[in-house]
Structure 1
Amino acid sequence: MRISQLEGRRVALWGWGREGRAAYRAIRAALPALPLTLFCTPTEVDDAQALGDAKLEIDTRTDADRLAAFDIVIKSPGISPYRPDAAEAAARGTRFVGGTALWFAQHAGPDGIAARTVCVTGTKGKSTTTALLAHLLRSGGHVTALAGNIGLPLLELPEHPVPEAWVIELSSYQTGDVADSGTRPDIAVVTNIFPEHLDWHGSQARYVEDKLRLVTDARPRIAVLNADDPTVAALGHVIQADPASTTAVRWYGTRDGWHLRGDVLWRGAVEVLDTAGLPLPGRHNRGNLCAVLTAIEALGHDAVALAPSAVHFQPLPHRLQVLGERDGVTYVNDSISTTPFATLAALDCHRDRPVALLVGGHDRGLDWSGFARDVGTRAPAVIVTMGANGPRIHAELEAVGGDIKLLAANDLADAVVKARQSLPAGGVVLLSPGAPSFGPYRDYVERGRHFASIAGFDPDTISSIPGLGIH
């Protein structure tokens, strides 16, 4: 649905975060007289009223009847369409769309494809993959847009200049928007699939289904898929076996494509470079470089020539971010970690040093038993549990036993103090919570900034994401 098609419809906005505000501005730019209703929280009312928009009605109450009064509800990504009020309104005829869907509909070409769009999703590594792809394209002189879930809503992008490539990160909350837009992405990259966001999706099966809609329903021209991930690989084989499929599969992680042998990057039988010195912490991130280079080839560029420019990549904040050293202890901010799998990967990056691991946060029902079994092989010096699911994680670890020292903390500040007191000089305090930040913090960024502040670092200098927008 294009924004122009909202004219004459009963339209509401649901959510007044950055995505909601971007949708409002885009609609007002095209349809200044369209009556709108905004569903928001009481704390957001003053900000919305300050717009002075006589055509904007504000409501802090949301239920099925109110939602069903509208033809179209433009929903912010964090609001689940599976919650009862939304599901009932949808059953009564209300159509829910997101800003991502509006953007893609606006950019459909004559063939139904949004030209030169590269959409990146996956449970882990999608932000780094997206930013690294934009970085390498720009290093080759290609004007590139970097936007989406990484920190800049698509509807905030200017129409000019028109980039040579649109590099877009999508969360599992947004992949369905692309499919629902009726516009096919040019290229879709899927890095991996682990259990995540079960509270939003309702079940692991639905999470996987929603995540993969970027390929199954949106039908990209080319799907760049990770051969090493069982779920992603299974999807790719299904596509390849379907004679009616219009999506071509490009694999990475295979011997005839981009892959790693130890720390060395190969393109088929050609050795390209040693990745050990790249600013990509963790083997999983160096594996994401393979995804990036495969996508660059799908765009028609020389990936071998661009690969060495990865050495100049600036790592993203809150993702295995080394903040620095205080009193002989290194502090690492991996606040974006919201699954136990991500926490285990973070531990792998520091296996040669004594680590105090900070875990726990919002409890959305993820299974931590696998983490409890596997964490012994990573051998942190101490694990400090915190947050709403901290007691449950603590109990899982106690049940497994082993030599790991366990401590319980009241909050993040208490956890940092206990971690520091438990470490010798040369150790690492690693915030990799494996859980969302909801409750004490607005998001993982606010949590990471607080961690930096507690550790004695300036949160403002560690939080900016470079390169957003069109460059």
Structure 2
Amino acid sequence: MPWADLRQRAIAVWGFGREGRAALTALRAHLPGQVLDLFCSPSEVEAVRHAFGDDVRVHDIAPDAAALAAFDVVIKSPGISAYRPELLEAAARGTRFTSGTALWFATHRDAHTIAVTGTKGKSTTSALIAHLARSLGVRTALAGNIGLPLLELDDAQAGLWVIELSSFQTGDASGVDLGVVTSLYEEHLDWHGSRERYLEDKLKLASASSRVLVNAMQPTLLAHVAAHPDVHRFGDAQGWHVADGWIRRGDERVIEAACVTAPGLHNAVNACAALAALELMGFDARAAAPALATFAPLPHRLQPLGERDGLRWVNDSISTTPLASLAALESLQGERIALIVGGHDRGLDWSVFVDAMRVDAPLAIVCQGANGERIAAALEAAGVGVVHHATDLAGAVSKARALLDGHGYVVLSPGAPSFDQFHDYADRGRRFAELAGFDAGVASIQGLGVY
């Protein structure tokens, strides 16, 4: 939907997070003088007035179907499920729902784009692609779900756009040159409504892309994209993959995996995805590979914060599935660990995690947050004897510190979203850093924007 199609329409923005702000700013620039409406929470009204004055009519309520149906177009924030009953009813009455992501793609059809999604690895892979492209002298934009709404770069020019998309956004993409899918597991069932719909929505990126690059180590993922006319793979012996401590292109050793500054085998695989993506876009991936050694690892993803009072602190707040918590433990195998798990409860199955803890548990598992008691109960029922209880993150940090008694790792890898206590995972990670005794700025993402 180009901006011109929005002229003289009744338009509302639903949500006043960063995406909502970006949409309002872009609408005001492209449609000067047009009346705009906003649905937000009562606590956000003052911030709206400060940012936009009287240019926006504010409704400090959660809209029902009738309220939404009063508009021709509603631009919704990604976190609002496309399957909410009031949205579906308003759509049936003729209201069109779109997003800032969809508007950007509709008005930037000539941009050279790599869009990246995946249950895990999408942010690091996106940032790696941008970092490696820049090392080759390519003016590159890094934006999207990684922390910078596309509409904030509405007027920017770049030779390459690297765009991270969540499963909430993949259906809004169009005309993508290369879609990259890093992994596919069960997640966000509260938004999508079912595992099947989550998989279907995640893989909408393939339909929006001329070419698709997928993880060859995931047979289920390969099967889901088999019908696409132009599928490429990373992670197998024919292409970019990791073997014997090296990142390889087929049989060729290109760079040692240990050179990747982001820790863990999974990040070496993410580097393979980034190199393969660059190669498919026509860039010299081999020439870019040495820049893996200068990449600044993203915060909240097994991020070593440093040492305080004899304890080492690891921020893995991005972990929102039990499998991610397992991966965090595996990356620190053999260490003395107090693991903090729990958060917003969206009904995920923790049985695989519980089974693994029966065999090899850390020194302590501190369960906190809305689903903390459910996780603790499952572990205790399975005979896992290292379970400790806390109400919230602050209590969990205090308990972990006491349990380790000045020796070991405190690892926040919650395996659950943050919305029971925090605005998002980044807010949770910053608070963890503060509770550990670090400046919250240690948990900021580098490389966003265009350069």
TM-score, reference length from structure 1: 0.93
Does residue 412 of the first structure (1) align with residue 393 of the second (2)?
yes
Distance in 2, matches of 1:204 and 1:229, equals: 17
Distance in 2, matches of 1:54 and 1:384, equals: 48
Structure 2 counterpart of 1:13: 13
Structure 1 counterpart of 2:446: 466
Change in CA separation of 1:176 and 1:52 when aligned onto 2, cut-off 3 Å:
closer
Structure 2 counterpart of 1:242: none
Equivalent positions of 1:273-422 (< 5 A) are 273-402=255-384, 404-422=385-403
Structure 2 counterpart of 1:123: 119
Change in CA separation of 1:54 and 1:385 when aligned onto 2, cut-off 3 Å:
closer
Distance in 2, matches of 1:90 and 1:159, equals: 30
Identity fraction in percent: 55
- 8 A contact 1:72–1:97 mirrored in 2: yes
Distance in 1, matches of 2:50 and 2:16, equals: 13
Structure 2 counterpart of 1:174: 169
The alignment partner of 2:147 has SS state of: coil
The alignment partner of 2:227 has SS state of: helix
Which amino acid in structure 1 is aligned with residue 436 of structure 2? A
Cα shift at 1:425: 4.8
Which amino acid in structure 1 is aligned with residue 5 of structure 2? Q
- 8 A contact 1:15–1:38 mirrored in 2: yes
The alignment partner of 1:238 has SS state of: coil
Cα shift at 1:158: 4.8
The alignment partner of 2:445 has SS state of: coil
TM-score, reference length from structure 2: 0.97
Change in CA separation of 1:290 and 1:377 when aligned onto 2, cut-off 3 Å:
farther
Distance in 2, matches of 1:193 and 1:285, equals: 16
Q: Deviations over 1:153-175 (max 9, x none)?
A: 00001524x21100011111111
Structure 1 counterpart of 2:22: 22
Cα shift at 1:326: 1.6
Structure 1 counterpart of 2:434: 453
Structure 2 counterpart of 1:435: 416
Which amino acid in structure 2 is aligned with residue 170 of structure 1? L
- 8 A contact 1:358–1:431 mirrored in 2: yes
Cα shift at 1:274: 1.3
Does residue 193 of the first structure (1) align with residue 184 of the second (2)?
yes
- 8 A contact 1:192–1:231 mirrored in 2: no
Distance in 2, matches of 1:277 and 1:384, equals: 33
Q: Deviations over 1:414-442 (max 9, x none)?
A: 11122122225541110000011112211
Cα shift at 1:333: 0.5
The alignment partner of 2:366 has SS state of: strand
Equivalent positions of 1:99-248 (< 5 A) are 99-109=100-110, 115-160=111-156, 162-178=157-173, 183-216=174-207, 218=208, 220-239=209-228, 245=229, 248=230
Which amino acid in structure 1 is aligned with residue 107 of structure 2? Q
- 8 A contact 2:368–2:393 mirrored in 1: yes
Distance in 1, matches of 2:315 and 2:298, equals: 11
- 8 A contact 2:40–2:59 mirrored in 1: yes
Q: Deviations over 1:79-113 (max 9, x none)?
A: 1111111111111111110100000000114xxxx
Question: Which consecutive unaligned segments of at least 5 residues does structure 2 have?
Answer: none
The alignment partner of 2:258 has SS state of: coil
Distance in 2, matches of 1:8 and 1:468, equals: 34
Cα shift at 1:58: 1.2
Which amino acid in structure 2 is aligned with residue 169 of structure 1? E
Q: Deviations over 1:380-438 (max 9, x none)?
A: 11101001101111111112224x51111121121112212222554111000001111
Distance in 2, matches of 1:414 and 1:131, equals: 33
Which amino acid in structure 2 is aligned with residue 131 of structure 1? A
Change in CA separation of 1:405 and 1:14 when aligned onto 2, cut-off 3 Å:
same
State the superposition RMSD in angstroms: 1.4
Q: Deviations over 1:180-233 (max 9, x none)?
A: xxx3101110000111111111111111111110113x1x12101111113321
Structure 1 counterpart of 2:233: 251
Distance in 2, matches of 1:143 and 1:127, equals: 19
Cα shift at 1:378: 4.7
- 8 A contact 2:260–2:267 mirrored in 1: no
- 8 A contact 1:351–1:378 mirrored in 2: no
Which amino acid in structure 1 is aligned with residue 196 of structure 2? A
The alignment partner of 1:276 has SS state of: helix
| Count of equivalent residues | 450
- 8 A contact 2:302–2:315 mirrored in 1: yes
Which amino acid in structure 2 is aligned with residue 307 of structure 1? A
The alignment partner of 2:443 has SS state of: coil
The alignment partner of 1:225 has SS state of: strand
Structure 2 counterpart of 1:72: 73
The alignment partner of 1:77 has SS state of: coil
Distance in 2, matches of 1:345 and 1:375, equals: 12
Distance in 2, matches of 1:384 and 1:41, equals: 33
Distance in 1, matches of 2:430 and 2:282, equals: 39
- 8 A contact 1:121–1:191 mirrored in 2: yes
- 8 A contact 1:416–1:455 mirrored in 2: yes
- 8 A contact 2:100–2:151 mirrored in 1: yes
Distance in 2, matches of 1:335 and 1:121, equals: 18
Query: Runs in 1 of length 4+ with deviation above 4 angstroms?
Result: 51-55
Distance in 1, matches of 2:113 and 2:127, equals: 14
Does residue 86 of the first structure (1) align with residue 87 of the second (2)?
yes
